[in-house]
Amino acid sequence: MAEKSRDGNTTVLHGKYELGRLLGHGTFAKVYHARHLQTGKSVAMKVVGKEKVIKVGMMDQVKREISVMKMVTHPNIVELHEVMASKSKIYFAMELVRGGELFSKISKGRLKEDVARVYFQQLISAIDFCHSRGVYHRDLKPENLLLDEDGNLKVTDFGLSAFSEHLKQDGLLHTTCGTPAYVAPEVIGKKGYDGAKTDIWSCGVILYVLLAGFLPFQDDNIIALYKKIYRGDFKCPPWFSSEARRLITKLLDPNPSTRITISKIMDSSWFKKSVPKSVTSSKKKEDQLEFDDALFEKSCKQPETLNAFHIISLSSGFDLSPLFEEKKREEKEELRFATTRPASSVISKLEEVAAKDGKFSVKKSGSRIRLQGHESGRKGKLAIEADIFAVTPSFLVVEVKKDNGDTLEYNQFCSKELRPALKDILWTSPADNSALA
């Protein structure tokens, strides 16, 4: 509910947010500056009129946007803090991105290749993350790319996105959507398309626009425009470097089956030429995690004996975290199990898992074991730590948690490799057969 504050001048929403000035508006939504009363933090409050949305049959689109934004948390994607509703309106409390649209930057003229590369690297990082979650944006264009105060790119507007569940029996999407100049030829062809491939095409158009300052496909006649897109009929300006030209030609390949993939984009010489500061700093952090053995040794102890408070906090029956976090069970970044085996058995089991595919190296110190991944994933190299606690000399609790890397990759490793390998050393209470919390 929106209500007037005591001074009668400001509007307070749900007793949580103070609504401020209007930042912008579209056909179905208005976006306001808002302040969280408890923390004082500024947010962007997107207000959608229910009646208007229902009238034009777009309620599913709004629900989809909510679902998608809850699934995709990434530094280059606008974050959704919470969703509230009244009888007539839906309120999205979102991350406030203060730097404006990337579009307004391009409207002043083309960007230098190094600047365009940083934006493109961030865009590809965000889209790769979405695709790993089975989400396809389907309306990528500079107007849906915002910039924060530090000039970092943020992808927004997931209203037209699709989930992998929307695929038909042929494994393809069939809804025609997107903005004409950025839409892939297979979408125009209406024969069904791969959501990942169409997003890559749109990224190609965006990269072209960043480097050229104008669109690759232009025509006042929409049919003529579609014909150009369908044929992949464009020319690179003479100031494009040969590497940029090569990459754009692969991105704007009208045949989706031969169009470049995200992994090949990331592997291209143009993409890899310079790495953004944010990536450099996270790599430094990752290297410290990997090689700072002295720090690792210092922080480790012999199996710690748990007191009653520890046991209560480790018990899922007393776990109060669901009151504070919305993570689903499968999205947990840690798992716990009990065992009557000695600590040496637990450590040798974890060593077995690490040695299985040679993807991890093992570091041990007292009651802690660390599995350090060798291959770089979506968010650096996966690192997993296991701490062993002694409840009694013959009864141990083991806590396994992600220390670095991508949560989805960690969860996949836990379900496919770790859980099956640990089954024979688990202690199961007579009342409960699910010992892995």
DSSP 280-304: HHHHHHHHHHHH-HHHHHHT--SPE
Q: Name the residues annotated as catalytic.
A: 139
Range name among 84-88, 120-124, 128-132, 355-359 with the lowest pLDDT average:
355-359
- Indicate the pLDDT class of residue 251, thresholds 50, 70 and 90: very high
Q: Is pLDDT larger for residue 258 or for residue 311? A: 258
Please answer whether residues 193 and 201 qualify as being in contact, where contact means their C-beta atoms are separated by less than 8 angstroms. no
Residue type at 222 in one-letter notation: I
Q: What CA–CA distance (Å, rounded) separates 253 from 238? A: 20
As a CATH number, domain 102-274 is 1.10.510.10
Helix ranges (DSSP H) in 8-112: 50-55, 59-71, 102-106
Q: Which two tokens stand for residue 206?
A: 């965006």
Average pLDDT, the chain: 76
Q: For the range 276-283, what are the long-range contacts, defined as Cβ-Cβ under 8 Å and sequence gap of 24 or more?
A: 276/118, 276/121, 276/122, 278/75, 278/122, 278/152, 279/121, 282/379, 282/380, 283/380
The CATH homologous superfamily of the domain defined by 279-425: Kinase associated domain 1, KA1 (3.30.310.80)
Q: What pLDDT is recorded for position 304?
A: 53
Please answer whether residues 157 and 103 qualify as being in contact, where contact means their C-beta atoms are separated by less than 8 angstroms. no
Chain centroid to CA 135: 10
For the segment(s) 2-95, the CATH number from 3.40.309.10, 3.30.450.40, 3.30.200.20, 3.30.420.40 is: 3.30.200.20
Q: Is pLDDT larger for residue 54 or for residue 176? A: 54
Beta strands in 115-240, from DSSP E residues, in sequence order: 135-136, 145-147, 153-155, 162-163
Q: What CA–CA distance (Å, rounded) separates 1 from 155? A: 29
Range name among 197-201, 394-398, 400-404 with the lowest pLDDT average:
394-398
Q: Which two tokens stand for residue 247?
A: 């990459």
Q: Is pLDDT larger for residue 293 or for residue 255? A: 255
Indicate if the pLDDT at residue 264 is higher than 60.
yes
The tens digit of pLDDT for each residue in 205-240 reads 999 999 999 999 988 888 888 889 989 999 999 999
Q: What pLDDT is recorded for position 315?
A: 46
Q: What pLDDT is recorded for position 13?
A: 85
CA distances from 383 to 346, 356, 432 (A): 18, 16, 30
The tens digit of pLDDT for each residue in 409-418 reads 888 888 888 8
Q: Is pLDDT larger for residue 435 or for residue 138? A: 138
Q: Where are the domains of the chain?
A: 2-95, 102-274, 279-425
The tens digit of pLDDT for each residue in 355-371 reads 877 788 888 876 788 88
CA distances from 367 to 1, 77, 320, 362 (A): 52, 38, 26, 13
